[in-house]
Amino acid sequence: METPVASAAPTNLLGLPRPELEAFVATLGSKPFRARQLMGWIYKRGEGRFDAMSDLARDFRAQLAQVAEVRTPEIVREMQSADGTRKWLLRAESSQAFETVFIPETDRGTLCISSQVGCALDCAFCSTAQQGFNRNLTAAEIVGQVWLANRELGLDAQGHRRVTNVVLMGMGEPLANFRNVVPAIRILLDDLGFDISRRRVTLSTSGLVPQIYKLAEEVNCALAVSLHAPHDALRDQLVPINRKHPIAELLEACWHYIDEQNGRSVTFEYVMLDGVNDQLEHARELVRLLKGRPAKLNLIPFNPFPGTRFRRSPMPVITRFRDELVQRGVLATIRRTRGDDIDAACGQLAGKVNDRTRVRLGDKLAGAMAS
């Protein structure tokens, strides 16, 4: 059997779901079990050097070295918070960078990963949105964030990986990069991949309704939705995609996703903005929307960034808001702010976005509505 001639661009095996990896090894004249071996080395053992994959046949390793690679994003900078949160700035290419954050807790280690360089959805309270948008991350760049974090963090005292949960809540709108996000999630869930429970992989969306329906047909993971307002007039201002997919339409898609995937509940994220969406009447409106539904609210203290017009709601106001929801039958929790001293908290990730898309979603929607 002849070894294929090496191409100018080797195939990056990182980010290939199992069927695609099996198809790739078939082009080398090998059987599907070789793909399973490769996945074990790449994802279970975190190995990217083919010559170190000792149970692969020597000639197969030689073939791989000529036509393939395991290429991850490059770490540009690492920062560590006083509370133990770690943030990595990763290079997408020479002038673009994105961020990944690890949040350690006593019972879990959560990695918040990005899906795009920047974001085009223009949510008013989010630092990432103010950076504009450059491009989607590839599946390799998405799963590469988990691969790198596992390597950098090492194992805990019991010999377990420190990353137990993955949330797609970093830079970008995951459902706007559906083509790359879904294969990445499949690798996170695959028992030959990272083998993470579906309840420990969460996709967060600002509300791309058609893609939520499509997601229900593709993968089974936890769903989080950036709600941030109890009625359309306010959400139109805070989350511009609401002008295209209003709350009633969004909620219908959420309940469909839970029914199709036999899920427990949808988590609705609600950033607490002083004097904007934090009054008791707002809480009561949320009750009318969510009571009796498979829903829980995660109240997020606003994390400021340079140039923002918003302020964080005082903690007594947030606590009173939470209590009002709970007393009226809606499960609600308050998210603990982590990593804000290194700009790693929710809504603060900015990365480095050059050659950005100047016209953002909010501008496009406003123009369409005016015409």
The mean-pLDDT minimum among 73-77, 105-109, 314-318, 365-369 falls in 365-369
Annotation says 346 is catalytic: yes
Domain-wise residue ranges, the chain: 11-69, 74-368
Q: Where are the alpha helices (DSSP H) in 195-354?
A: 209-218, 232-238, 247-261, 280-290, 315-327
Identified catalytic residue from 112, 119, 123, 346: 346
pTM: 0.88
pLDDT surpasses 50 at 21: yes
**Cβ partners under 8 Å of residue 50, min gap 6:** 56, 61, 64, 65, 68, 70
Residues 299-338: b if buried by 16+ CB within 10 A, e if exposed: bbbbbebeebebebbeeebbebbbebbeeeebebebbebb
pLDDT average, residue stretch 172-189: 97
The mean-pLDDT minimum among 20-29, 119-128, 228-237, 302-311 falls in 119-128
pLDDT, one tens digit per residue, over 111-164 is: 999 999 988 888 888 877 677 788 899 999 999 999 999 999 988 888 889 999
Cα torsion angle, 48, 182, 359, 343, sign: negative
The mean-pLDDT minimum among 73-82, 120-129, 143-152, 189-198 falls in 120-129
Structure tokens at 193: 């991949």
Residue 4's SS3 state is coil
pLDDT, one tens digit per residue, over 260-280 is: 998 889 999 999 999 999 999
Centre a 10 Å sphere on the Cβ of residue 160 and count the other Cβ atoms it contains: 10
What pLDDT is attached to residue 94? 66
Cα torsion angle, 325, 329, 330, 331, sign: positive
Burial level of 371, CB count in 10 A (0-12/13-18/19+)?
exposed
Q: What is the rounded CA–CA span in Å between residue 27 and residue 75?
A: 32
Q: What is the rounded CA–CA span in Å between residue 357 and residue 82?
A: 35
CATH of domain 11-69: 1.10.150.530
Q: What is the rounded CA–CA span in Å between residue 79 and residue 77?
A: 7
The DSSP-derived string for 134-149 is: EEEPPHHHHHHHHHHH
pLDDT average, residue stretch 344-351: 47
Annotation says 123 is catalytic: no
pLDDT average, residue stretch 246-273: 95
Q: What is the rounded CA–CA span in Å between residue 1 and residue 60?
A: 11
pLDDT, one tens digit per residue, over 315-346 is: 999 999 999 999 999 999 998 876 555 554 45
Residues 4-23: b if buried by 16+ CB within 10 A, e if exposed: eeeeeeebbbbbbbbeebbe
Q: Where are the alpha helices (DSSP H) in the chain?
A: 18-27, 32-39, 58-67, 127-130, 139-153, 178-189, 209-218, 232-238, 247-261, 280-290, 315-327, 361-370
Residue 186 is which amino acid?
A: R
Q: What percent of the chain lies above the pLDDT cut of 70?
A: 88
| Beta carbons of 183 and 115 less than 8 angstroms apart | no
CA quadruple 115, 119, 125, 127: dihedral, nearest 10: 80
pLDDT average, residue stretch 293-316: 92
Q: What is the rounded CA–CA span in Å between residue 116 and residue 105?
A: 26
What pLDDT is attached to residue 193? 96
Q: Is the model more confident about 100 or about 306?
A: 100
What pLDDT is attached to residue 346? 52
Q: What percent of the chain lies above the pLDDT cut of 90?
A: 73
Identified catalytic residue from 20, 93, 99, 324: 99
The mean-pLDDT minimum among 91-105, 150-164, 165-179, 200-214 falls in 91-105
Confidence of residue 281 (pLDDT cuts 50, 70, 90): very high
The mean-pLDDT minimum among 70-74, 81-85, 244-248, 313-317 falls in 81-85
Average pLDDT of the residues of the chain? 88
Structure tokens at 183: 């294969």
CA quadruple 104, 109, 110, 113: dihedral, nearest 10: 90
Report, at the CATH architecture level, how domain 74-368 is classified: Alpha-Beta Barrel (3.20)
**What are the phi and psi torsion angles at 259 (to 5°)?**
-65, -45
Burial level of 272, CB count in 10 A (0-12/13-18/19+)?
buried
What pLDDT is attached to residue 195? 96
